[in-house]
Amino acid sequence: MRVFCPECGAKSCIQKSNRISSKYTDLYCSCSEPECGHSFVMNLTYSHTLSPSAKTTSQLAFNMVQALPPEQRKELQHQLSML
Ligand SMILES: [Zn+2]
31: CA distance to ligand 1 center in Å? 5
Q: How far apart are CA 4 and CA 13, in angstroms?
A: 8
Question: pLDDT-derived band of residue 54, with 50, 70 and 90 as boundaries?
Answer: confident
Residue 58's pLDDT is 84
In this predicted structure, the answer to whether residue 12 has a pLDDT above a threshold of 90 is yes
Distances (CA, A) of 27 to 38, 40, 48, 82: 14, 8, 20, 51
What residues have their beta carbon closer than 5 A to ion ligand 1? 5, 7-8, 10, 31, 33, 36, 38
CA atoms within 13 A on the CB side of 38: 16
- The per-residue pLDDT for 82 is 87
Question: Containing H/E element for 56?
Answer: helix 54-66
- Cβ atoms of 46 and 25 closer than 8 Å: no
Mean pLDDT (the chain) is: 93
Q: What percent of the chain has pLDDT over 90?
A: 71
